[in-house]
Amino acid sequence: MNFNSLQPSIKTIISSNKTRDEKLFAICQFLNQNVPYYNWVGFYFANHETKTLHLGPYVGAATDHTIIPFGKGICGQVAESNQNFVVPDVQAQDNYIACSLTVKSEIVVPLFVNGKNIGQIDIDSHEIDPFTKEDEIFLEFVNQQVALLF
């Protein structure tokens, strides 16, 4: 996968005249359509007062997980650790919130604005262990671009 070729499209979406949520949704659509193993793509945003994550724009199967407590599941762990979390096989994780039986792996990359973790991009795959360091680097780039919207 050549992620460098996808970067200009992300910048174009960010600089478009759409609302912030429309841009976030467009990014989700773009990633879902252009990376074959990105089967669910969405953003969660932190409420630090209630220590919860709230689902933002996403593309993929509907989820019941619209609010996730910090520390719970992969997303909740990233809200506390401020670190990328790659899960090659969700079945091997103790603290995993199952969204669908089709989900085999997950990657979550925190979104920082002025050094504060305000949320994250969350991607599920129907494949076991598809995510590489290149995915992490690319998703960090995506989040750097998204941070410009805040």
Taking only the tens place, the pLDDT of each residue in 50-103 is: 999 999 999 999 988 999 999 999 999 999 999 999 999 988 876 666 666 788
CATH assignment of the domain containing 124: 3.30.450.40
Task: Please tell me the distance from the alpha carbon of residue 125 to that of residue 5, in angstroms, as a whole number.
Answer: 21
When divided into structural domains, the chain yields a total of 1
Q: C-alpha distances in angstroms, 59 versus 25, 33, 49, 52?
A: 7, 10, 27, 21
Handedness of CA 78, 74, 104, 8 (dihedral sign): negative
Query: What pTM value is reported for the model?
Result: 0.95
Task: Please tell me the distance from the alpha carbon of residue 16 to that of residue 125, in angstroms, as a whole number.
Answer: 28
Taking only the tens place, the pLDDT of each residue in 96-130 is: 666 667 889 999 999 999 999 999 999 999 999 99
| Residue 98: per-residue pLDDT | 62
Q: Are 139 and 111 in contact (CB under 8 A)?
A: no
User: Domain residues for 139?
Assistant: 3-147
Task: Please tell me the distance from the alpha carbon of residue 125 to that of residue 45, in angstroms, as a whole number.
Answer: 21
